[in-house]
A and B are shown apart, each in its own frame.
Chain A
Amino acid sequence: MAHINPSGDQELIERWRDQPASLLPLLHAFHDRDGYLSDDALRAVASGLRIPIADLYGTVTFYHHFARVKGGKARPRVCDGPVCKLQGCDELIVGLDGATAMPCAGRCDGPIPVLQDDEVLIGTQPGALTAAPPLVPPPNPGGIDECVFAEVRDPRRKTLAGYRESGGYRALSRAVREMTPEQVLDVVSGSGLTGRGGASFPTALKWRAVREAGGGPKTVVCNADEGEPGCFQDRVLMDLDPHAILEGMTLAAFATGATRGFIYLRYEYPATQGVLETAIEEARAAELLGTSVLGTELTFDIHVRRGAGAYICGEETSLLNSLEGKHPFPRNRPPYPVTNGFEGTPTAVNNVETLASVPPIVDRGAEWYAGLGAGEHKGTKIISLSGDVARPGNYEVPIGIPLKTVLYDWAGGAPEGRTVQAVTMAGLSGGFLGAEDIEEATLDEPSMRARGSLLGAGGVMVFDDSRDMVEIARQAMSFFAHESCGKCFPCRIGTQRLTERLAGVAGPKEPELWKAEVEDIGRTMAAVSACGLGVAAPGITGSLMRLFPEQVDAHVNGQRK
């Protein structure tokens, strides 16, 4: 085939070659221009960026969303996450011409999202898809003081002017003019803020490690690769309150000494990229970013980098490899990103919600934020609630509040005539909680860990008593298998074998043998997998067998002919 546009190739390469983290945006530039990534495009990129062609080819095939056939980018991708399954996404895929499935696209609180080119449509019927509006969190149902959601329901908040009107950039101005980085670290430390993406690592500790690490330039990365099924809070924050994230990153830069920032945004949020880039332009124009932030010596700028469809890139070291244009396998640790992050330099990787929490914390003080938690717990967490629940959506809750308060009092519990059979926690990574756990658990890590689960990124999917829990587990495991990077043996093979057993296509036909196999695989995966994916995945089968032994027996016995 003749080369499409070699001179255009050169322009794209020149546009990106000397930019930081250039591979992904350059690939997207070709992907957008041609509607797919042709062999010639890959050859041009490989030679333009001096990447081995075999490596580039392999890395491109790693990502779900890079189309390799002509017209591929425009073909509809339909979310087949657990909640969209409940809404009938399988029928939608069959009904839409050329459609394929995509893993959970982060809109579990509404109709099924369909990604078509760079537009997100929603609906459940092929002929009735409509543009997807940004989803505003339900009005503060608990009437409790909020942190990140306090102002987001105001539509003006999205613009720089509106953001400033409601107190935006007050924290940054104060920090860069009146505070030392050490003081900012103290405030964040005192607030008890920990990583809201799921790892719960103390934010100030991470920042201090970056600050004290040798070498540079230092980097702040906002992990906006919100890929956990059932989690959609980061999208809402970015769409409605982009400046809060920019301000949080700039405060992180001030505290750590970083000079460059990246927002690594998942592919499935195309509109969000525009929102962030507009906000960055506004901030640059107002000298809130750039070589002299607010007229001080602080130099910091932010680049948005769009992912291409890989759950594992939410794992911080995979994310860094992806940014650097490498194969996005997780890295071995130590060394950790705080000393050896982006291009080997000290890097703070923080989640969106974490960063958005920082400006109010610096503005209103450590004690204020710490006091938002319930009892001994500090601060708040957004819970994304979806599935068989009356009022799905994002709820900012005091950490430590009872799960049932949010599930029943705020969100209205199961739909009429149904009862809640189970919920997932941490999206899928916390496995299932059953009725007893739901009664007793509070929304904090100690409570969750005591029940063999995780609060994690705060995704809670609800399944009522009509649902086949083995099938739900199969979908969950199938997601993990689809997203396993393939680097470590227990995860690569284990997720596959567990999926096959949950689907009933392989494995013993005797319940006891079946359970022994599933337990053995799960135990080894949890103990020796190289990253969190392989460690978390068997939580699904473990909790399934613990909570729903009869359904498991019926599943295995049902296979017997």
Chain B
Amino acid sequence: MSSDGSSNGSSNGSPTLTLDGKVVPFETGETLYEVARRHTSDVPTLCYDERLEAFGACRLCVVEIEGFRSPVASCTTHAAHGMNVQTKTEKLEKHRKTLMELVCSENPRGVEIDPMRGHASQEMTDLAQRYAVDGTRFEGAQSGQSHPDDPNPMILRDYDHCISCYRCVRVCAEQEGDYAISIANRGFQTQITTEFNGFLKGSECTFCGQCVQTCPTGALADNRALQHTREPGEVELTRSICPFCGVGCSVDIMSKGDKLVGVRPAMDGPANEGALCVKGQFGWEWVQHPERLKNPMVRKDGVLVEASWDEALDRAAEGFRRVRDTHGRHAIYGVASGRAPHESAFSVQKFIRAGFGTNQIDNCSRA
């Protein structure tokens, strides 16, 4: 059996290994975790994010390989042809339970993690439930140190819940490329830090929120969404596209009833693959801002006053008719928006072209 991580194809081409007694194919270069996840959904992990380089910190994904003395982390072990791998022996489950007891022992107990904190915020809670762990065994000192003093209104730095999986640090470096946060000290004294342990504003942080969304405990949390914790109702997600720049990041809009309560990046968004920037992530409160226009307005005696749709639409149409009749069809000009959807721009140009017979139409791309 090959044990050095190289994978030699089987006689018929694609390499295979035995996973919990079943022979399964894999692609050269795949890790055991990737292979296992395709075939069984329940190899647990807390430090894994498929967008990041495998790290091997939590050790929950350990598996047994025939011929190996100790279990190995499946996320950092490459599949090799002929391996005989077990993912769920009694021994492994015992180690996983002990690991969960250890990791829960350094988290404040009895705190429900609000799912509004972030995309991955339930991962630890879910695993604690699966292994029936409540954090009372292995009691001892707590390692996290929260930063309630950081005045930024976007990212809550509730490090009391931190389990030092470094997904935030890694996503900031590997995905976002900002290197704004890092690891201070070592061992149990480890803390997630910024340069000189300062606030996020003033550091290299661009508030993209990717750390928030990859955090498996909610230690980093979306503080804008959390403002709506008490809003009644369940959170609903609606897939959409960010309204700001032209990159077209896929988002899930979070709503409770009629209330917009947050935005989350779509991990499978083709343009962004789970990323957003500060505007897309945190800049959505304008939507239900009290200053939004709620009613049509028409100018009467030089002053804009609210009106019914019928009155306003009549006024709008009448003005265009008057100008067309007085100055001709080319005296009317339409400016479509580069911000509104296609149906808006298409309608504006059709309105100008078909409604008046002129090409006096443009959009805001020249400014």
Contact = CB atoms under 8 A, between A and B. Distances in A.
Establish whether A and B are touching in the complex (CB under 8 Å): yes
Interface of A: 39, 42, 52-55, 57-59, 61-62, 310, 312, 327, 332, 334-335, 481-490, 492-497, 500, 505-507, 517, 520-521, 523-524, 526-530, 535
Given A493-B103, A524-B98, A57 B54 contact: no
Nearest to A522: B98
Contacts of A39: 196
B99 A54 contact: no
A481 B54 contact: no
B186 A489 contact: no
A52 B179 contact: yes
Interface in B177-216: 179-190, 193-197, 203-204
A225 B183 CA distance: 23
B156 interface: no
Contacts of B184: 57-58, 61-62
Contact of A496 (B140, B173, B204): B140
A484 B140 contact: no
A526 B91 CA distance: 13
B118 interface: no
Given A57-B196, A521-B98, A486 B187 contact: yes
Nearest to B177: A52
A59 B169 CA distance: 13
A413 B137 CA distance: 43
B194 A54 contact: yes
28 contacts: A52-B182, A54-B194, A57-B184, A58-B182, A59-B182, A61-B193, A310-B186, A334-B78, A481-B188, A483-B186, A483-B187, A484-B186, A485-B187, A486-B164, A486-B187, A486-B189, A487-B56, A487-B57, A489-B57, A489-B102, A493-B106, A497-B102, A500-B140, A506-B140, A528-B70, A528-B71, A530-B59, A530-B73
B140 A527 contact: no
Contacts of B141: 496, 500, 506
B4 interface: yes
B215 to A, nearest CB: 16
Contacts of B203: 54
B102 A485 contact: no
Contacts of A484: 186-188
Interface string B21-34: 00000000000000
A319 to B, nearest CB: 15
Interface string B57-74: 111101000000011010
Name the residue among A54, A55, A517 with the largest chain B CB count within 10 angstroms: A54
Contact of A495 (B54, B106, B188, B197): B188
A494 B137 CA distance: 12
B163 interface: yes
Contacts of A496: 140-141, 143, 187-188
Contacts of A59: 182
Given A61-B185, A496-B141, A527-B71, 18 more contacts: A52-B179, A55-B182, A57-B184, A58-B193, A62-B186, A335-B5, A484-B187, A486-B183, A486-B187, A489-B102, A492-B190, A493-B102, A493-B138, A494-B102, A505-B140, A527-B95, A528-B59, A528-B70
B140 A332 contact: no
Interface string B103-143: 10110000000000000000000000000000001111101
B137 to A, nearest CB: 7
Interface of B: 4-5, 46, 54-60, 62, 70-71, 73, 76, 78, 94-95, 98-99, 101-103, 105-106, 137-141, 143, 163-164, 166, 173, 179-190, 193-197, 203-204
Given A52-B182, A488-B59, A517-B138, A495 B98 contact: no
Contact of B181 (A42, A54, A482, A493): A54
Given A520-B98, A527-B95, A507 B140 contact: yes
Contact of A332 (B4, B54, B189, B196): B54
Contacts of B143: 492-493, 496
Contacts of A520: 98, 101
Contacts of B95: 523-524, 527-528
B204 A488 contact: no
B182 A485 contact: no
A284 to B, nearest CB: 36
B98 A492 contact: no
A381 B54 CA distance: 38
A436 B173 CA distance: 53
Contacts of B139: 506-507
Nearest to A333: B76
Contacts of A500: 140-141
Contacts of A335: 5
A52 B71 CA distance: 35
A528 B69 CA distance: 11
Name the residue among A57, A494, A526 with the largest chain B CB count within 10 angstroms: A57
A535 B181 CA distance: 29
Given A332-B56, A489-B163, A527-B71, A62 B185 contact: yes
Contacts of A494: 102
Nearest to A58: B182
B193 A486 contact: no
A372 to B, nearest CB: 30
Contacts of B194: 54
A481 B187 contact: yes
Contact of B187 (A332, A334, A482, A497): A482
Nearest to A62: B186
Contacts of A535: 70
A513 to B, nearest CB: 10
Nearest to B103: A489
Contacts of B193: 54, 57-58, 61
Nearest to B189: A486
A188 B349 CA distance: 83
Contacts of B99: 489-490, 524, 528
B98 A523 contact: yes
Contacts of B181: 54
A335 B77 CA distance: 10
Given A52-B204, A54-B195, A521-B98, A530 B185 contact: no
Name the residue among B94, B137, B180, B195 with the largest chain A CB count within 10 angstroms: B195
A530 B188 contact: no
Given A52-B179, A57-B184, A527 B103 contact: no
B137 A517 contact: yes
A444 B58 CA distance: 34
Contacts of B182: 52, 54-55, 57-59, 327
Contacts of B179: 52, 54-55
A530 B187 contact: no
B183 to A, nearest CB: 5
B73 to A, nearest CB: 7
A48 to B, nearest CB: 16
A11 B101 CA distance: 52
B344 to A, nearest CB: 43
A332 B76 contact: yes
Contacts of A481: 187-188
Nearest to B185: A61
Q: Which 10 A-B pairs have the closest CB atoms?
A: A52-B179, A58-B182, A484-B187, A486-B190, A332-B76, A496-B188, A524-B98, A506-B140, A54-B182, A493-B102
A488 B163 CA distance: 10
A270 B345 CA distance: 73
A264 B98 CA distance: 36
A450 B78 CA distance: 32
Contacts of B173: 52, 55
Given A486-B164, A524-B95, A530-B57, A58 B204 contact: no
A62 B189 CA distance: 10
A496 to B, nearest CB: 4
B103 A54 contact: no
Nearest to A493: B102
B200 to A, nearest CB: 11
A335 to B, nearest CB: 8
Name the residue among A53, A482, A528 with the largest chain B CB count within 10 angstroms: A528
